[in-house]
Amino acid sequence: MRSSLLYAALIGTCVILAGCRVSSAGSCSGIAPCNASNPSPAATNNFAQPTYSNSGFASAQVPQQIVVQQAPQPIVISATGYAAPMVSKKLSRPQIRLLTLRGSKVDAYRNLSERVYGLKLRGSSSLRSMMTAHDELQTFVDAYLMGAKVVSQRELEDGSFETIVEMALQENFQQCVQNPATISSNPACQMGYSNLNNGISQYQSQTSPQVRSTTTNFYSVE
pLDDT in tens, the chain (222 residues): 666 666 666 666 665 555 555 555 555 555 555 555 555 555 555 555 555 555 555 555 777 788 777 766 677 889 999 999 988 889 899 999 999 999 999 999 989 888 877 777 777 778 777 776 777 777 767 676 777 889 999 999 999 999 999 988 776 676 676 666 666 677 666 654 444 333 333 333 344 334 333 333 333 333
pLDDT of residue 222: 32
Based on the fold, state whether residues 152 and 197 are members of the same structural domain. Answer: no
Distance CA 87, CA 25 (A): 118
Q: Which pLDDT belongs to residue 75?
A: 78
Number of domains observed in the structure of the chain:
2
DSSP-assigned letter for residue 46: -
pLDDT given for residue 116 in this prediction: 79
Domain assignment present for residue 47? The answer is no
| pTM, full prediction | 0.47
Residues 141, 108 within the same domain: yes
In a domain, 189, yes or no: yes
- Structural domain including 181 reads 171-222
Residues 6 or more apart whose Cβ sits within 8 Å of residue 208: none
Q: Which residues contact 37 (CB under 8 A, 6 or more apart)?
A: none
Query: What was the pLDDT predicted at 164?
Result: 95
Q: What is the rounded CA–CA span in Å between residue 58 and residue 85?
A: 82
Question: What's residue 161's pLDDT?
Answer: 95
Same domain, 86 and 156: yes
In this structure, is residue 163 part of a structural domain?
yes
How much is the pLDDT for 148? 85
- Alpha-helical runs (H) found in the chain: 2-19, 93-117, 173-177, 180-185, 202-205, 209-212
Burial class (CB in 10 A: 0-12, 13-18, 19+), 164: middle
Which pLDDT score, from 0 to 100, does residue 160 have? 93
* Nearest C-alpha neighbor of 141 from the set 106, 171, 166: 106
